[in-house]
Amino acid sequence: MQTHNEASGLHKQAANDHSEAAKNHTKAAECHDKNKAGDAKESALSAMSSANAAHKSSETACKTSAK
């Protein structure tokens, strides 16, 4: 049962990480729409970092589920 609880928590974390990445991507797009290149760049860098974290947490969650 511990593996199921662990996998559930890891998938929830991955979902949260993906949500954060999506928020940063949306913010970057909004900044581009407003011609705020500097703010867009900052949001894009945050999106990249969040997306990398989401990818790692997704891999961990899926590997745990596949056990």
H helices of 1-67, in order, are 2-33, 37-65
If one counts the domains in the chain, the total is 1
pTM score of the predicted model: 0.84
CB atoms within 10 A of CB 11: 17
Q: What is the DSSP letter of 34?
A: T
| pLDDT of 46 higher than 60 | yes
Q: Is the separation of the CB atoms in 50 and 17 below 8 Å?
A: yes
Give the tens place of pLDDT for each residue, 4-15: 788 899 999 999
Domain extent at residue 60:
2-65
pLDDT band for position 3 (cuts 50, 70, 90): low
Q: How much is the average pLDDT of 29-45?
A: 97
Percent of the chain with pLDDT over 70: 96
